[in-house]
Amino acid sequence: MNKIKIVVAGCSGRIGRILLENVQKSDDLILHGALDHTGSKLMGRDAGEIIGAPCGVKVTTDIASALQDADVLIDFTRPEGTLHHLSFCQKLGIKMVIGTTGFNAEQKEQLRTASKNIGMVFSPNMSVGVNLTFKLLEVAAGILNQGYDIEIIEAHHRHKVDAPSGTALGMGEVIAKTLGRNLDECAVYGRSGVTGERDPSTIGFATIRGGDIVGDHTVLFAGTGERIEISHKASSRIPFALGALRAARFLQTHPAGMYDMQDVLRLK
C-alpha cells in the first residue's frame, strides 16, 4: 500500500508537533515535508527531533521543495501564511487540509476559488467531537426556533489572537442558516452600557481569554422556564490533529472541491 505523503506547515507549533507525532505513528501516512517560519531554531534540523524520533525530513522554508511530489499539505498557521502556501499548492496540484482560523471574507473567497483546482478540506475546527456538535446544533436550532434566545460562549488560552474563535463563528453560522438568518446581520459580539432589551432575532457571542484553556464552547438556548446548553470542551489539541489526518485520508479519494469536516464525517 502506498502511504499518503504529508507535509506539515508550522511544524514547531502546538498542533504541528502533534501532527508530526501522529503521522509517525500511522501505518498509512508518511512525513514528506516539514515547513516552519524563517528564524526557527529548528531550521535545517531533522523534523523528527521535535518529538524525539528522527525521520530524515529536514525542516525548511523552501515551500516548493517541501511540496514536490507530496500528496497533502496540512496547515494550521495564520491566514497570510496559509494563502502563501496555497499559491504553491495550486501550481503543484497539492491537496490542502486547512485548520487555520481568522480569515476575512475576501480571503475565504480566495480559498473557494482555489478549490476549483485542488481538493481542500477547510474547517474552523477539525475535531470530530466539535463537528458532531455542529450537527446537534443544527437539530436543536430547528426545534428551538421560537421563544429561545441564543448565546454562544467560548474560552481559549491567552495567546489566541482572533476573537470570536473560528469554531464559535462556525456554530453561529450553522444556527443562523438553520433559522434562515444571515449571521453578519444578526450577530452581537459585545454588550456594554444601556443596551435596551435583547432583540430575539440576534445571536450573541461572549469571548473569554486566559491561561492555557485549549478550547471551550457552549451554545445556550434560553427559553421561558428552561435552558438547553450544548457544550464541547477540549482538554488537549490531539483531537484537532487526528481530525486533520482523517481529512487528509478523505481527500485521497475525492476530486477537487471545497469540503469541510461535515463532509469528511458524512454528517451532511
Helices (H), the chain: 14-25, 63-67, 79-92, 105-114, 128-143, 166-179, 183-186, 238-251, 261-264
Q: Any catalytic annotation for residue 160? A: yes
> Phi, psi (5° rounding) for residue 103?
-70, 140
Distance CA 163, CA 186 (A): 17
Q: What are phi and psi of 223, to 5 degrees?
A: -110, -165
The DSSP symbol for 2 reads P
What the block records as the C-alpha cell of 35 is 515547513
Task: Give the integer Cα–Cα distance in Å for 66 and 32.
Answer: 7
List 160, 217, 233, 254, catalytic entry: 160
The active-site residue, picked from 5, 156, 217, 232, is 156
Q: How many CA atoms lie within 13 A of 43 on its CB side?
A: 9
Omega into 164 within 30° of 0, i.e. cis? yes
Is 156 a residue of the active site?
yes
H or E stretch covering 237:
none
Active-site positions read 156, 160
